[in-house]
Chains A and B, each alone.
Chain A
Amino acid sequence: MAQEAHGAFYDLLAVRGVSRRDFLKYCSYVAATLGLAETAAPQIAAALEKGTKLKPALWLNGGSCTGCTESMAQVDSPDVATIVLELLSLNYFETIMAAAGEQAEKNIEDTIADGGYLLIYEGAVMMGEDGNTLLVNGEKGTDILQHAAEGADAILAVGACAVDGGWVYAHPNPAGAVGVQSFLDGVKVKTPVVNLPCCPTSPEWVVAMVVQWLLVADDDPALFLEKTALLAKEYHDNYRDADVSLLYPEYIVGSTIHDNCPRRGHFENGEFVTEFGSEEEAKGYCLYKVGCKGPQTYTQCPVTRWNRSVSWCVNSGAPCIGCGGLNWVDNNAPFFKRLSSMQMGGSLGNVQPGSVAAVVGGVAAAALVAHGLGMKAAGRIGDGPPMEEMKAYDRKHGAKKGGDK
């Protein structure tokens, strides 16, 4: 029986242009992304081989720019990642689905009625103007999300806007944007939410989480969180005036961009780009002095890279703007100024380098401070603008309006 099922599965993959070898290779990648040993690959393959029935999923767009959808379109095709995505029956996906209007809405209702689906949500949750800042066929976007979330096995909040409102949440948050977890806390929906950071998010991360869900979906969807190595981050949602705890895959947010940056060696050597478009950039020097937020941003960007791993922000010559952090616009702008503060994790808020060592025991944090301060003491980075005590933006607006403090 099992053998037959496997055969059917590989037939399905074969017509979609995927060899058995490609598939197993892909499973190794997924294992790595999930933070598992590569020896877990055969188990992943076995779990995925269980059937040829596609698992249903809904992809809803809230207050989005469609950038995360665009990002998803950038996986290799026909590539194993895409194919495994095809293992989902994406019954609602506004940007690419054929149906529109009534027929499209019926797809949502049918999927919810059948149950056992994964909900992927892109964009901010729009609460402003009494929930009328997003309307779909006269229905508030918030009501649609709540309805779809209640019946879902699990939710992926993809991209900065879905995580905590993203740029839309930035001061003064005129449209009343919040993140998915915060909104669901407010309406007391307990469906588990896994957050995937950055603006846009990485398609590889989405695929990894989809596979993780497929692995457990047939047995017990409740295992989704249990089997995923997760890290919690807390923040205060100023719009709802509530503390929110977010779950992220640990492998994706477990280390800083600075930790994995291929330009790190230049940082150590004191070799910096001080002006855009310069010879130093052609040499690939460190972008710290033009405002790189790599040291305070916890994502896997330098490892995953973007657009089928062709490049990523720092590689193209641009300083990281920290879009993987919480309330990233308020906390990281002005983007070109030197590191204004070193935020060592959401719960600590803005902490200046001098005090970080006193309150943070983490090896990475201490090492980072040693770097920054040590290099400053050595005079190697001392010729830039001074570190700000407080970001100019926060100073002007006060802590209650902008920033995470």
Chain B
Amino acid sequence: MARTVIDPVTRIEGHLRVECEVKDNEVVDAWVAGTLYRGMETVLLDRSPEDAFYVSQRICGVCPISHSHASSQATEAALGITIPEGARLVRNILECAQFLHSHILWFYNLAALDYVNPINALKANIADTYALAEAAGTRQADFGAVAKRLTAFAENGQLSILTGHYWDHPGYVLPPELDLIATTHYLEALEMQAVANEVVAIVAGKFSHPMTSVPGGTAFVPTVDKLDDILFRLVRVKEFVDTALIPDTLAIAPFILDAATYGGGTGNFLSWGVFEKSDLVPENRYLPRGMSQGLKPEGVSPDDVTEYTNHSWYDSPTGLNPKDGKTNVKFTEYNVDDKYSYGKAVRCKDLSTESGPLARMVVAYLAEKGGADIAGGADVRTPAKLIDSTLEALGVGGKPEILVSLLGRVAARNLEAAYVADLSLVFVNELIAALKGGDVQYWKAAEKADGDGVGAWEAPRGSVAHWIGVKGGKIDHYQIVAPTTWDIAPRDDNGVRGPMEEALVGTPVADAEKPLELLRIAHSFDP
């Protein structure tokens, strides 16, 4: 049977291959492979535990802040450190900035080109574009100038980063005016993601690869001036989320409603929880820790994780929890019936489990519906409010099951951005109030030299956990389950597909030579 292959999958972090069996214009089987091995866990061995904070975050240049936080939490758990209140708030602010950067960049600059056709935008009528923007309640700009800019770009004949794509695909269904609006916001998003990262730079020196959330707390000591610099940037970013990201999502969704009928994947969702409250209890985080099967909530712990390697290029033992896991690389050949990926098949409670914004929003939604006050009384748009109002707006009120789809995964990420934007201001204001109260602590020394610990946290794209073992003051065990590892997992030892593989099955493919729909599924996970 014909195989459709996308390799490299572009507009992602890292190196990914998607292979599908397509029959009668529908995917009947799929294999997803990570094709790069670097060996971070091995490099970390025998070093000082604090060094893991600086080195391990370099596994990913797109979500280094979340990795650095998971790493510091693991070290803190191992060495008996409870971070002080000031550090909790500083880390929350830093994490918010990265989430906002990442979600804006993902929607407009990575995923949007699967739906938005900048070449088609050249046909837009400028007056109609303003009328449409007005009707959609989305951000207006000098659409005429952008159209002129695009025309010059196209007439120059060299399409640079737009070269060679299948712009003639029938899946590009937006009217030219909406293409022009979205392309205009693509350009603005380039600015906004950078503004969000200026907050990262103020708190942590630079993006990528932050410097300050060291084990024990933070090396960043805020002043009212610095918090002012942070606040005005976050207000700007929040405004963009409210006036562009959310209305654009609602404006585009009606054109791609069929995307609500496939791409749901396994329907098993995991969130380690992110954005800490004062009690530092993961189940009480602003986006709480939890799991969901069939939209039913349940508890979860890092001890529930298993990694299988029978389909991965490792000869280390299979079926272990990462606290005992090893990473011995052994490339054989690419063979989808045997070994085909550098990703391990990570499972939670032995289930093929999706992580990321959809998983977090589902877990948070279920918690709220169960009566939890996840925002701790703060006046913000919570996940349940955002999800319910969006379903209402799309005419599917009261049907949260529709979230378990390609469209749901896209929408959940953008709705999460709105919640995080609100939270970011709450955290800054809380820290300003604390500073005015005086005597805020930011860092604590280790209580002991040795121990074992886990740091389980969330990155914009999914669940991240670091396991550390420290002996004689040196790292003698280190394992990482990165966010994308969950979603791009290959088959496990029982032959069960990973979440992205499962989401690909059943996806319609209009033209097997131009598999736009498969790119949409892959990108929806923000791998």
Question: Is B494 in contact with chain A by the CB < 8 A criterion?
Answer: no
Interface flags, B77-116, vs A, CB<8A=1, else 0: 0000000101100000000000000000100011001000
* Residue contact A97 to B163, C-beta cutoff 8 Å: yes
* Residue contact A316 to B163, C-beta cutoff 8 Å: no
* Residue contact B149 to A17, C-beta cutoff 8 Å: yes
- Measured between alpha carbons, how far is A177 from B42 in the docked complex, in Å? 13
* Residue contact A132 to B162, C-beta cutoff 8 Å: no
Question: Is A63 in contact with chain B by the CB < 8 A criterion?
Answer: yes
Which residue of A is nearest B519, CB measured?
A100
* Residue contact B194 to A104, C-beta cutoff 8 Å: no
Question: Is B47 in contact with chain A by the CB < 8 A criterion?
Answer: yes
Checking B37, B163, B165, B221 against A175 with a beta-carbon cut-off of 8 angstroms, the contacting residue is: B37
Q: Which residues of A contact B42 (CB under 8 A)?
A: 172, 174
* Residue contact A307 to B209, C-beta cutoff 8 Å: no
Q: Which residues of A contact B39 (CB under 8 A)?
A: 128, 168, 173-175
Using a Cβ–Cβ cut-off of 8 Å, how many residues does chain B contribute to the interface with A?
95
CB distance from A60 to the nearest CB of B (A): 10
CB distance from B193 to the nearest CB of A (A): 7
Question: Is A39 in contact with chain B by the CB < 8 A criterion?
Answer: no
Which residue of B is nearest A137, CB measured?
B7
Q: Which residues of A contact B113 (CB under 8 A)?
A: 98
* Residue contact B15 to A136, C-beta cutoff 8 Å: yes
Question: Is B476 in contact with chain A by the CB < 8 A criterion?
Answer: no
Q: Which of B52-60, B256-264, B267-275, B415-423 contacts A (4 or more CB under 8 A)?
A: B52-60
- A15-B212 in contact given A65-B58, A137-B17, A278-B221 (Cβ < 8 Å): no
Checking A69, A137, A275, A311 against B5 with a beta-carbon cut-off of 8 angstroms, the contacting residue is: A137
Checking B37, B110, B158, B167 against A129 with a beta-carbon cut-off of 8 angstroms, the contacting residue is: B37
- Measured between alpha carbons, how far is A337 from B313 in the docked complex, in Å? 37
- Measured between alpha carbons, how far is A15 from B187 in the docked complex, in Å? 13
Q: Which residues of A contact B217 (CB under 8 A)?
A: 276-277
- A329-B55 in contact given A126-B36, A313-B211 (Cβ < 8 Å): yes
- A133-B156 in contact given A90-B161, A276-B219, A317-B221 (Cβ < 8 Å): no
- A334-B208 in contact given A74-B197, A101-B6 (Cβ < 8 Å): no
CB distance from A328 to the nearest CB of B (A): 10
Q: Which residues of B contact A276 (CB under 8 A)?
A: 214, 216-219, 442-443
Query: From residue 278 to 296 of chain A, which have CB atoms closer than 8 A to chain B?
Result: 278-279, 281-282, 290
Question: Is B448 in contact with chain A by the CB < 8 A criterion?
Answer: no
* Residue contact A393 to B161, C-beta cutoff 8 Å: no
- Measured between alpha carbons, how far is A243 from B443 in the docked complex, in Å? 43
CB distance from A73 to the nearest CB of B (A): 7
Interface flags, B124-166, vs A, CB<8A=1, else 0: 0000000000000000000001001100110010111111111
Query: From residue 151 to 204 of chain B, which have CB atoms closer than 8 A to chain A?
Result: 152-153, 156, 158-167, 187, 190-191, 193-194, 197-198, 200-204
Checking A106, A307, A335 against B207 with a beta-carbon cut-off of 8 angstroms, the contacting residue is: A307
Query: From residue 242 to 257 of chain B, which have CB atoms closer than 8 A to chain A?
Result: none
Question: Is A135 in contact with chain B by the CB < 8 A criterion?
Answer: yes
* Residue contact A306 to B205, C-beta cutoff 8 Å: yes
* Residue contact A199 to B209, C-beta cutoff 8 Å: yes
Checking A66, A71, A172, A311 against B202 with a beta-carbon cut-off of 8 angstroms, the contacting residue is: A311
Query: From residue 231 to 247 of chain B, which have CB atoms closer than 8 A to chain A?
Result: none
CB distance from B165 to the nearest CB of A (A): 4
- Measured between alpha carbons, how far is A98 from B514 in the docked complex, in Å? 13
Q: Which residues of B contact A167 (CB under 8 A)?
A: 40, 43, 55, 58
Q: Which residues of A contact B445 (CB under 8 A)?
A: 275
CB distance from A113 to the nearest CB of B (A): 14
Query: From residue 41 to 71 of chain A, which have CB atoms closer than 8 A to chain B?
Result: 52-54, 56, 61, 63-71
Q: Which residues of B contact A130 (CB under 8 A)?
A: 331
Q: B36, B109, B441 — which one has the most chain A CB atoms within 10 A of its CB?
A: B36
Checking A66, A98, A138 against B13 with a beta-carbon cut-off of 8 angstroms, the contacting residue is: A66
Which residue of A is nearest B37, CB measured?
A133
Which residue of B is nearest A280, CB measured?
B221
Question: Is A389 in contact with chain B by the CB < 8 A criterion?
Answer: no
Q: Which residues of B contact A173 (CB under 8 A)?
A: 39, 43
* Residue contact A133 to B329, C-beta cutoff 8 Å: yes
Q: Which residues of B contact A396 (CB under 8 A)?
A: 46
- Given contacts A95-B11, A107-B163, A135-B35, 14 further A-B pairs with CB under 8 A are A66-B62, A71-B207, A73-B193, A74-B194, A90-B161, A99-B10, A126-B38, A167-B40, A171-B43, A174-B39, A174-B43, A281-B219, A316-B201, A323-B209
Q: Chain B: residues with CB nearer than 8 A to chain A?
A: 5-15, 17, 35-40, 42-43, 46-48, 50-51, 54-55, 58-62, 64, 84, 86-87, 105, 109-110, 113, 145, 148-149, 152-153, 156, 158-167, 187, 190-191, 193-194, 197-198, 200-209, 211-212, 214, 216-221, 223, 313, 329-331, 334, 342, 441-443, 445, 515, 519
Q: Chain A: residues with CB nearer than 8 A to chain B?
A: 11-12, 15-17, 52-54, 56, 61, 63-71, 73-78, 82, 86, 88-91, 93-101, 103-107, 124, 126, 128-130, 132-138, 141, 166-168, 170-175, 177, 199-200, 275-279, 281-282, 290, 306-308, 310-319, 321, 323, 329, 333-337, 393, 396-397
